[in-house]
């Protein structure tokens, strides 16, 4: 592969984002915006999950909880003191990042599996909390009236196009962050923990601190992905914010795509995301979740390194006949 440094990579990603944006604007179909918003959201979630799961080797089952925390902090702000969505994204990142840090601090000092179990329980508990909290709508849910258009510096922008643009930017930022981490000292720290935590500790890697950085970044990105969600969906109820599809997809997408590099979650999210958009329309949403589950089980058994791993093997075999 040609060596590309972080600055060049960022430029390439931003350019790619601009091309996608221009293309979407040229086609200009509302459904396309809605469908690709979901896929972009999954790119952010899968990349965020992979920063902790793929790079560090710690499984987070509570993606839905971190996502919902972002979404519900937006609902809270919407009722309490409305601010523009980019500010909400920052707030979502702060809330979910702090939650990630706290969860990590309580559970990561112990066995690795405790973190996974605690995140699994976190979703149930937060849902209980939200159901009982009337200010953010309780079990009835909350309506967020989305304006049709947005006035910005004298130009009117279609609101869904605006949301699409925000999520596209988030996806670009998440991918750049993931790749930068991968090639930084921090990323090597993550990899040592994934490969052998005891050896890492013995070699002087501050494992707890490094793991906490990973949980915080990962949680923060999930919160960012959730923050614009109430505006996208218009009516947020606990069961949609804590939907099982977020937990399962943010694990399945990197696992199926490949967990060792930033490409995996991207490939997984685009493939599974678009397949699900198609399947939800043509079959039913339960069947499409079943397919995701079966694919997850199949891939972890048969192709542990995902699609990226399969392609790399093929390339290696092709180079050395």
Partner 1 sequence: MDISWDLLLNAIAAGLLLGAFYAAVTAGVSISFGMLDIVNIAHPAFVILGSYIAYFFNINFGIDPILVSIVAMPVFFLLGSAVYQVYYLSFEKRGQESLRGLAFFFGLLFVTEVTLILVFGVDYRYVEAAYIGPSIHIGIVDLPLRMLVPCLAALALFSGLQLFVTRTFIGRAIMAVSQDQLALQLMAVDPIRIKRIAFGLSIATAAVAGALLIIIQPIEPSVGREYIGRVFAICVLGGLGSMPGTLVAAMLLGVVESLTSTFYGPSWAPAVSFGFLLLTLAFRPAGLFGR
Q: Closer CB to partner 1, residue 263 or residue 300?
A: 300
**Separation CA 116–CA 95 (nearest Å):** 20
Assign residue 143 a region (left: φ > 0; alpha: ψ between -120 and 50; beta: otherwise). beta
> Residue 105 burial (CB < 10 Å; 0-12/13-18/19+)?
middle
Using CA atoms, how far residue 261 sits from 14, 52, 186, 205, in Å, is 19, 12, 14, 21
With CB under 8 A as the contact rule, the residue among 19, 23, 113, 313 that binds partner 1 is 113
In contact, 229 and 243? CB cutoff 8 Å: no
The alpha helices in the chain, defined as continuous H runs, are 6-27, 30-56, 63-80, 85-107, 112-131, 159-182, 185-195, 197-202, 207-226, 229-233, 238-241, 244-257, 263-282, 285-302, 306-319
Residues 6 or more apart in contact with residue 152 via CB below 8 angstroms: none
Q: Closer CB to partner 1, residue 104 or residue 230?
A: 104
Q: Closer CB to partner 1, residue 88 or residue 122?
A: 122
With CB under 8 A as the contact rule, the residue among 32, 77, 94, 120 that binds partner 1 is 120
- Verify binding: residue 59, partner 1, rule CB under 8 A: yes
- Verify binding: residue 114, partner 1, rule CB under 8 A: yes
Residues 6 or more apart in contact with residue 3 via CB below 8 angstroms: none
- Verify binding: residue 243, partner 1, rule CB under 8 A: no
Q: Closer CB to partner 1, residue 80 or residue 114?
A: 114
Site map (CB under 8 A) of partner 1, residues 125-154, x = contact: x--xx-xx----------------------
Q: Closer CB to partner 1, residue 146 or residue 194?
A: 194
- Verify binding: residue 61, partner 1, rule CB under 8 A: yes
- Verify binding: residue 53, partner 1, rule CB under 8 A: yes
- Verify binding: residue 296, partner 1, rule CB under 8 A: yes
With CB under 8 A as the contact rule, the residue among 12, 121, 283, 315 that binds partner 1 is 121
Q: Euclidean distance between the first and final Cα of the chain, in Å?
A: 19
- Verify binding: residue 294, partner 1, rule CB under 8 A: yes
Nearest to 288 by CA among 256, 245, 229, 234: 245
Q: Closer CB to partner 1, residue 126 or residue 144?
A: 126
With CB under 8 A as the contact rule, the residue among 73, 107, 177, 260 that binds partner 1 is 107
With CB under 8 A as the contact rule, the residue among 287, 313, 314, 315 that binds partner 1 is 287
The contact set with partner 1 (CB under 8 A) reads 53, 57, 59, 61, 106-107, 110, 112-114, 116-118, 120-122, 124-125, 128-129, 131-132, 194, 244, 248, 251-252, 255, 259, 286-287, 289-290, 292-294, 296-297, 300-301, 304
């Amino acid at each position: 592969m040609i060596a590309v440094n972080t600055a060049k990579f960022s430029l390439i990603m931003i350019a790619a984002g601009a091309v996608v944006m221009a293309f979407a604007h040229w086609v200009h179909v509302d459904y396309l915006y809605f469908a690709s918003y979901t896929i972009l959201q999954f790119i952010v979630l899968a990349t965020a999950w992979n920063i902790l799961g793929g790079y560090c080797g710690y499984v987070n089952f509570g993606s839905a909880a971190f996502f919902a925390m972002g979404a519900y902090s937006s609902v809270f702000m919407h009722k309490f003191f409305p601010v523009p969505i980019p500010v909400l994204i920052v707030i979502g990142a702060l809330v979910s990042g702090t939650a990630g840090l706290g969860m990590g601090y309580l559970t990561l000092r112990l066995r690795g599996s405790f973190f996974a179990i605690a995140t699994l329980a976190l979703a149930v508990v937060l849902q209980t909390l939200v159901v009982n909290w009337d200010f953010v709508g309780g079990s009835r849910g909350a309506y967020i009236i989305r304006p049709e258009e947005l006035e910005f510096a004298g130009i009117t922008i279609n609101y869904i196009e605006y949301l699409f643009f925000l999520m596209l930017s988030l996806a670009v930022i998440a991918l750049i962050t993931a790749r930068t981490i991968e090639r930084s000292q921090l990323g090597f720290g993550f990899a040592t923990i994934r490969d052998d935590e005891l050896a890492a500790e013995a070699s002087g890697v501050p494992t707890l601190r490094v793991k906490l950085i990973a949980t915080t970044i990962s949680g923060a990105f999930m919160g960012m992905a959730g923050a614009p969600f109430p505006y996208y969906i218009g009516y947020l109820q606990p069961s949609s914010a804590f939907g099982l599809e977020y937990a399962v997809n943010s694990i399945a997408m990197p696992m199926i795509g490949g967990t060792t590099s930033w490409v995996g979650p991207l490939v997984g999210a685009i493939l599974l995301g678009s397949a699900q958009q198609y399947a939800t329309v043509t079959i039913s949403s339960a069947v499409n979740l079943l397919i995701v589950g079966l694919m997850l089980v199949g891939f972890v058994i048969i192709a542990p390194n995902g699609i990226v791993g399969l392609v790399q093997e093929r390339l290696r075999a092709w180079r050395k006949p």
